[in-house]
């Protein structure tokens, strides 16, 4: 497959160019695009294309589908965790969550991660490669096909740093939003980043109104330096400045993710400092009880501490929620299933 084109990663315009180059009518591009986004496994299944065109396509292109290696279903809330195998044998994971408003998925953008956040299950496994746009997209298509339900909301917050795979993630956003494909509105998509400032500014100019989600996790550089290496490149002041530019440019509210770690970032003073940092911003804070990760040595804050932290932020006018824990019986936080799978393979 190395020298062949990945149809699932191609736009309709790219497909049109391919068809014209091979002597075919460009209107077939829409048909090919629709077939690949419906979850068809191979080119022969495109029954409204001529046999000649299908055979020619098979010589130069393929449909890069993911394989479900493992699937865990929560007995508590029905959350489903998927471990997918890619064409090169690498594995990634995705999570399906059911809410009152419908189904949401949390998907991965890379195989591994370069960012090294100390509380993350992806840290320590190493970075392998970026996912192609079609590989990001097929996580949604494969899950939709598996559960036979439409996915209405997408969070790119699984394995990897989305803005470290910027071009492929932006292309994915345009593919998933296309009316002839999955047609998921940009306002129903959240893109998470640990704070790659230049890419945040670049994303603000793309005219794709996604929700930007910032993994902040600390109110000052001293704490953030210790738990998030990216902060040594882009300090909190630079990050907040970029976020303000993003909200002014897009008129979209930013979500700040804040994982509460006992004795590290969960004190009253931390809450007050965070409130001062975010004062006046178009934003929302999502408090997350930190997940237990082997070797990290972090413990989640108590319910009482989380409630007090939330109260302080709200007192200062900052809209705050505490993330509802889903799939706790299947370790639904991204990175944990892949980490366990990789450990099993080593042993």
Whole-angstrom CA distances from 48 to 53, 151, 178, 186 are 10, 26, 21, 30
Q: How many residues does the chain have?
A: 347
How deeply is 17 buried, as exposed, middle or buried, from its count of CB atoms within 10 A (0-12, 13-18, 19+)?
A: middle
Assess contact for 334 and 121: CB atoms under 8 A.
yes
Q: Name the DSSP class of 261.
A: B
Strands 80-85 and 102-107: unpaired
Of 274, 257, 284, residue with least CA distance to 308? 274
Taking phi over 0 as left and psi of -120 to 50 as alpha, with beta for the rest, 293 belongs to: beta
Whether 314 is a known active-site residue: answer no
Return the sign of the alpha-carbon dihedral for residues 98, 99, 101, 105. Answer: negative
Could you give the CA distance from residue 241 to residue 213 in angstroms, rounded to a whole number?
15
Name the β-bridge partners of 218: none
Whether 120 is a known active-site residue: answer no
Return the sign of the alpha-carbon dihedral for residues 153, 12, 134, 172. Answer: negative
Name the β-bridge partners of 81: 72, 95
Q: Name the DSSP class of 275.
A: H
- Provide CB contacts within 8 A for 95, sequence distance 6+: 79, 80, 81, 82, 105, 106, 158, 326, 327, 332, 334
Could you give the CA distance from residue 318 to residue 320 in angstroms, rounded to a whole number?
6
Task: Write down the catalytic residue from 14, 16, 93, 325.
Answer: 93
Task: Write down the catalytic residue from 135, 243, 334, 344.
Answer: 334
- Which positions are catalytic? 93, 334
């Amino acid at each position: 497959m190395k020298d062949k084109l990945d149809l699932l990663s191609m736009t309709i315009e790219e497909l049109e160019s391919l068809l014209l180059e091979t002597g075919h009518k460009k209107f077939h591009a829409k048909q090919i695009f629709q077939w690949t986004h419906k979850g068809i496994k191979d080119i022969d299944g495109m029954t409204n294309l001529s046999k000649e065109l299908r055979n020619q396509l098979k010589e130069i292109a393929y449909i890069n589908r993911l394989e479900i290696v493992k699937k865990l279903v929560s007995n508590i809330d029905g959350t489903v965790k998927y471990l997918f195998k890619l064409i090169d044998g690498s594995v990634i994971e995705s999570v399906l969550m059911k809410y009152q408003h419908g189904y949401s998925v949390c998907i991965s953008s890379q195989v591994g991660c370069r960012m090294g956040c100390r509380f993350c299950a992806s840290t320590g496994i190493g970075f392998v490669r970026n996912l192609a746009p079609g590989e990001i997209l097929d996580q949604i298509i494969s899950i939709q096909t598996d559960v036979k339900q439409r996915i209405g909301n997408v969070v790119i917050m699984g394995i990897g740093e989305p803005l470290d795979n910027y071009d492929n993630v932006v292309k994915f956003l345009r593919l998933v939003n296309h009316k002839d494909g999955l047609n998921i509105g940009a306002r129903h998509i959240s893109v998470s980043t640990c704070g790659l400032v230049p890419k945040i500014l670049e994303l603000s100019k793309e005219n794709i109104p996604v929700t930007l989600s910032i993994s902040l996790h600390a109110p000052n550089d001293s704490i953030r330096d210790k738990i998030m290496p990216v902060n040594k490149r882009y300090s909190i002041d630079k990050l907040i400045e970029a976020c303000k530019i993003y909200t002014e440019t897009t008129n979209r509210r930013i979500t700040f993710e804040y994982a509460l770690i006992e004795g590290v970032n969960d004190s009253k003073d931390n809450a007050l400092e965070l409130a001062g940092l975010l004062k006046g911003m178009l934003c929302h804070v999502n408090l997350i009880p930190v997940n237990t990760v082997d070797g990290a040595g972090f413990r989640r804050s108590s319910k009482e501490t989380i409630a007090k932290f939330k109260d302080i932020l709200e007192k200062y006018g900052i809209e705050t929620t505490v993330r509802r824990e889903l799939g706790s019986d299947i370790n639904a936080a991204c990175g944990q299933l892949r980490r366990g799978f990789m450990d099993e393979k080593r042993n």
